[in-house]
Amino acid sequence: MIDENSKDSCTYSHTARRQMLPFIPQSAKRVLDVGCNTGGFGQALKSIRDVEVWGVEPNTKAAEVAAGILDKVIFDIFTEETDVPDNYFDVVIFNDVLEHLIEPGEALRIAQRKLRAGGCVIASIPNVLHHGNLLHMLVEKDFKYESVGIRDKTHLRFFTRTSAIRLFTESGLKILTVQGINEDWWSPSLKRRIIYKIFAKYLEETKYLQYAIVGKPER
Protein backbone atom coordinates (compact mmCIF):
# COMPACT_ATOMS: atom_id res chain seq x y z
CA MET A 1 0.00 0.00 0.00
CA ILE A 2 2.89 2.35 0.66
CA ASP A 3 6.53 2.29 -0.35
CA GLU A 4 8.62 0.20 2.03
CA ASN A 5 11.23 2.98 1.95
CA SER A 6 8.90 5.00 4.16
CA LYS A 7 10.20 2.92 7.05
CA ASP A 8 13.47 4.79 6.77
CA SER A 9 12.13 8.23 5.88
CA CYS A 10 12.28 11.25 8.17
CA THR A 11 9.53 11.70 10.71
CA TYR A 12 7.30 14.73 10.85
CA SER A 13 7.29 16.96 13.92
CA HIS A 14 5.58 15.85 17.11
CA THR A 15 2.20 17.55 16.76
CA ALA A 16 -1.04 17.18 18.69
CA ARG A 17 -3.38 17.83 15.75
CA ARG A 18 -5.83 19.32 18.26
CA GLN A 19 -8.14 20.51 15.49
CA MET A 20 -9.05 16.84 14.95
CA LEU A 21 -9.91 16.12 18.60
CA PRO A 22 -13.54 17.38 18.38
CA PHE A 23 -14.31 14.77 15.71
CA ILE A 24 -13.68 11.86 18.09
CA PRO A 25 -17.09 10.80 19.47
CA GLN A 26 -17.46 11.27 23.22
CA SER A 27 -18.51 7.63 23.49
CA ALA A 28 -15.26 6.34 21.96
CA LYS A 29 -13.15 4.22 24.31
CA ARG A 30 -10.71 2.62 21.85
CA VAL A 31 -8.99 4.52 19.05
CA LEU A 32 -6.60 3.29 16.37
CA ASP A 33 -4.34 6.01 14.97
CA VAL A 34 -2.99 4.84 11.61
CA GLY A 35 0.27 6.59 10.77
CA CYS A 36 0.51 7.84 14.34
CA ASN A 37 4.02 9.29 13.85
CA THR A 38 5.44 10.04 17.32
CA GLY A 39 2.05 9.77 19.05
CA GLY A 40 1.25 13.46 19.40
CA PHE A 41 -2.43 13.14 18.56
CA GLY A 42 -2.98 10.18 20.85
CA GLN A 43 -1.15 11.97 23.63
CA ALA A 44 -3.42 15.00 23.27
CA LEU A 45 -6.51 12.79 23.20
CA LYS A 46 -5.47 10.83 26.28
CA SER A 47 -4.79 14.07 28.16
CA ILE A 48 -8.47 15.03 27.96
CA ARG A 49 -10.25 11.68 27.73
CA ASP A 50 -10.16 8.26 29.34
CA VAL A 51 -9.40 6.39 26.12
CA GLU A 52 -7.22 3.55 24.91
CA VAL A 53 -5.12 4.58 21.92
CA TRP A 54 -3.23 2.23 19.62
CA GLY A 55 -0.94 3.37 16.84
CA VAL A 56 0.37 1.92 13.60
CA GLU A 57 3.59 3.52 12.37
CA PRO A 58 6.08 2.33 9.69
CA ASN A 59 8.91 4.65 10.71
CA THR A 60 11.22 3.06 13.27
CA LYS A 61 12.25 6.20 15.15
CA ALA A 62 8.72 7.60 15.26
CA ALA A 63 7.27 4.28 16.42
CA GLU A 64 9.79 4.08 19.25
CA VAL A 65 8.74 7.51 20.52
CA ALA A 66 5.02 6.72 20.14
CA ALA A 67 5.47 3.44 22.04
CA GLY A 68 6.35 5.41 25.15
CA ILE A 69 3.16 7.47 24.87
CA LEU A 70 0.35 5.31 23.50
CA ASP A 71 -1.15 2.11 24.89
CA LYS A 72 0.23 -0.01 22.06
CA VAL A 73 2.16 0.74 18.87
CA ILE A 74 2.60 -1.63 15.94
CA PHE A 75 5.71 -0.96 13.88
CA ASP A 76 4.33 -1.82 10.45
CA ILE A 77 2.58 -0.64 7.33
CA PHE A 78 -1.23 -0.78 7.60
CA THR A 79 -2.35 -3.82 5.59
CA GLU A 80 -4.59 -6.83 6.06
CA GLU A 81 -1.64 -8.62 7.65
CA THR A 82 -0.94 -5.94 10.25
CA ASP A 83 -1.35 -7.31 13.78
CA VAL A 84 -4.39 -5.22 14.68
CA PRO A 85 -7.56 -6.95 15.97
CA ASP A 86 -10.85 -6.84 14.09
CA ASN A 87 -14.06 -5.54 15.69
CA TYR A 88 -12.14 -3.82 18.49
CA PHE A 89 -12.02 -0.05 17.97
CA ASP A 90 -14.63 2.69 18.16
CA VAL A 91 -12.59 4.95 15.88
CA VAL A 92 -9.92 4.44 13.25
CA ILE A 93 -8.29 7.75 12.37
CA PHE A 94 -5.97 8.77 9.52
CA ASN A 95 -4.42 12.18 10.19
CA ASP A 96 -2.96 13.25 6.85
CA VAL A 97 -2.12 9.66 5.94
CA LEU A 98 -4.40 8.55 3.09
CA GLU A 99 -2.66 10.81 0.57
CA HIS A 100 0.59 8.90 1.21
CA LEU A 101 -0.90 5.55 0.21
CA ILE A 102 -0.93 3.80 -3.15
CA GLU A 103 -4.41 2.42 -2.41
CA PRO A 104 -6.15 4.64 0.16
CA GLY A 105 -9.47 2.96 -0.54
CA GLU A 106 -8.01 -0.36 0.54
CA ALA A 107 -6.86 1.22 3.81
CA LEU A 108 -10.38 2.50 4.45
CA ARG A 109 -11.88 -0.93 3.79
CA ILE A 110 -9.40 -2.58 6.15
CA ALA A 111 -10.16 0.09 8.77
CA GLN A 112 -13.84 -0.80 8.71
CA ARG A 113 -13.07 -4.36 9.74
CA LYS A 114 -11.25 -3.05 12.79
CA LEU A 115 -14.35 -1.22 14.06
CA ARG A 116 -16.85 -2.38 16.61
CA ALA A 117 -20.55 -1.93 15.79
CA GLY A 118 -21.34 1.79 15.64
CA GLY A 119 -17.71 2.79 15.10
CA CYS A 120 -16.48 5.33 12.58
CA VAL A 121 -13.52 6.17 10.35
CA ILE A 122 -12.08 9.69 10.54
CA ALA A 123 -9.54 11.35 8.27
CA SER A 124 -7.81 14.65 7.78
CA ILE A 125 -7.04 15.11 4.07
CA PRO A 126 -5.03 17.96 2.49
CA ASN A 127 -7.04 20.17 0.14
CA VAL A 128 -5.36 20.63 -3.24
CA LEU A 129 -7.78 23.51 -3.94
CA HIS A 130 -6.33 25.66 -1.14
CA HIS A 131 -5.73 29.14 -2.53
CA GLY A 132 -2.00 29.02 -1.80
CA ASN A 133 -1.60 25.94 -3.95
CA LEU A 134 -3.82 27.33 -6.71
CA LEU A 135 -1.82 30.58 -6.83
CA HIS A 136 1.40 28.61 -6.99
CA MET A 137 0.15 26.72 -10.04
CA LEU A 138 -1.53 29.66 -11.78
CA VAL A 139 1.07 32.36 -11.10
CA GLU A 140 4.26 30.32 -11.04
CA LYS A 141 2.92 27.74 -13.52
CA ASP A 142 4.54 25.01 -11.49
CA PHE A 143 3.84 22.13 -9.12
CA LYS A 144 6.93 22.15 -6.96
CA TYR A 145 7.11 19.42 -4.36
CA GLU A 146 8.14 20.43 -0.84
CA SER A 147 9.15 18.73 2.40
CA VAL A 148 5.77 19.39 4.03
CA GLY A 149 2.37 20.77 3.10
CA ILE A 150 -0.09 20.10 0.29
CA ARG A 151 2.70 19.39 -2.20
CA ASP A 152 4.60 17.15 0.22
CA LYS A 153 7.08 15.13 -1.83
CA THR A 154 5.83 11.89 -0.25
CA HIS A 155 2.21 12.42 -1.33
CA LEU A 156 1.00 9.89 -3.85
CA ARG A 157 -2.59 11.15 -4.08
CA PHE A 158 -4.19 14.61 -4.14
CA PHE A 159 -7.75 15.41 -3.11
CA THR A 160 -10.44 18.06 -3.31
CA ARG A 161 -13.45 18.05 -1.01
CA THR A 162 -15.46 16.25 -3.70
CA SER A 163 -12.89 13.57 -4.45
CA ALA A 164 -12.23 12.95 -0.74
CA ILE A 165 -15.94 12.33 -0.21
CA ARG A 166 -15.96 10.02 -3.23
CA LEU A 167 -13.03 8.07 -1.78
CA PHE A 168 -15.03 7.44 1.39
CA THR A 169 -18.31 6.54 -0.32
CA GLU A 170 -16.66 4.25 -2.88
CA SER A 171 -14.94 2.49 0.01
CA GLY A 172 -18.30 1.67 1.61
CA LEU A 173 -18.54 4.52 4.10
CA LYS A 174 -21.57 6.72 4.70
CA ILE A 175 -20.52 10.33 5.19
CA LEU A 176 -21.46 11.77 8.58
CA THR A 177 -19.34 14.94 8.62
CA VAL A 178 -17.26 16.96 6.17
CA GLN A 179 -15.67 20.11 7.55
CA GLY A 180 -12.88 22.39 6.41
CA ILE A 181 -10.11 22.78 8.99
CA ASN A 182 -7.05 25.00 9.33
CA GLU A 183 -8.74 27.91 7.59
CA ASP A 184 -6.04 29.99 5.93
CA TRP A 185 -7.04 32.64 3.44
CA TRP A 186 -7.24 36.02 5.19
CA SER A 187 -4.79 38.64 3.94
CA PRO A 188 -4.07 42.31 4.68
CA SER A 189 -4.63 42.77 0.97
CA LEU A 190 -7.90 44.67 0.56
CA LYS A 191 -8.20 43.30 -2.96
CA ARG A 192 -8.12 39.71 -1.77
CA ARG A 193 -10.65 40.35 1.01
CA ILE A 194 -13.02 41.99 -1.46
CA ILE A 195 -12.67 39.09 -3.88
CA TYR A 196 -13.45 36.60 -1.12
CA LYS A 197 -16.47 38.63 -0.07
CA ILE A 198 -17.89 38.96 -3.60
CA PHE A 199 -17.23 35.34 -4.56
CA ALA A 200 -17.68 33.87 -1.10
CA LYS A 201 -19.62 30.77 -2.15
CA TYR A 202 -17.43 30.00 -5.16
CA LEU A 203 -14.16 30.42 -3.23
CA GLU A 204 -15.28 28.67 -0.02
CA GLU A 205 -13.29 25.51 -0.74
CA THR A 206 -10.07 27.47 -1.29
CA LYS A 207 -9.98 28.64 2.34
CA TYR A 208 -8.97 25.38 3.98
CA LEU A 209 -5.67 23.56 4.15
CA GLN A 210 -7.44 20.31 4.96
CA TYR A 211 -10.83 18.66 5.25
CA ALA A 212 -11.90 16.50 8.18
CA ILE A 213 -14.18 13.68 7.13
CA VAL A 214 -16.11 11.25 9.31
CA GLY A 215 -17.70 8.14 7.84
CA LYS A 216 -19.61 5.15 9.11
CA PRO A 217 -19.62 1.70 7.49
CA GLU A 218 -22.66 0.96 5.33
CA ARG A 219 -23.59 -2.26 7.10
CA distances to 8, 136, 139 from 43, in Å: 23, 35, 40
Q: How far apart are CA 145 and CA 151, in angstroms?
A: 5
Q: How far apart are the first and last CA of the chain?
A: 25
Do residues 86 and 68 touch, judged by C-beta distance below 8 A?
no
pLDDT digits (tens, 9 = 90+) for 164-174: 999 999 999 99
The mean pLDDT value for 146-159 works out to 96
pLDDT digits (tens, 9 = 90+) for 7-38: 445 467 888 999 999 999 999 999 999 999 99
Do residues 67 and 48 touch, judged by C-beta distance below 8 A?
no
* Beta-ladder partners of 213: 123, 178
The strand pair at 52-57 and 30-34 is best described as parallel
pTM: 0.92
* Beta-ladder partners of 90: none
The mean pLDDT value for 141-170 works out to 97
pLDDT digits (tens, 9 = 90+) for 51-91: 999 999 999 999 999 999 999 999 999 999 999 999 999 99
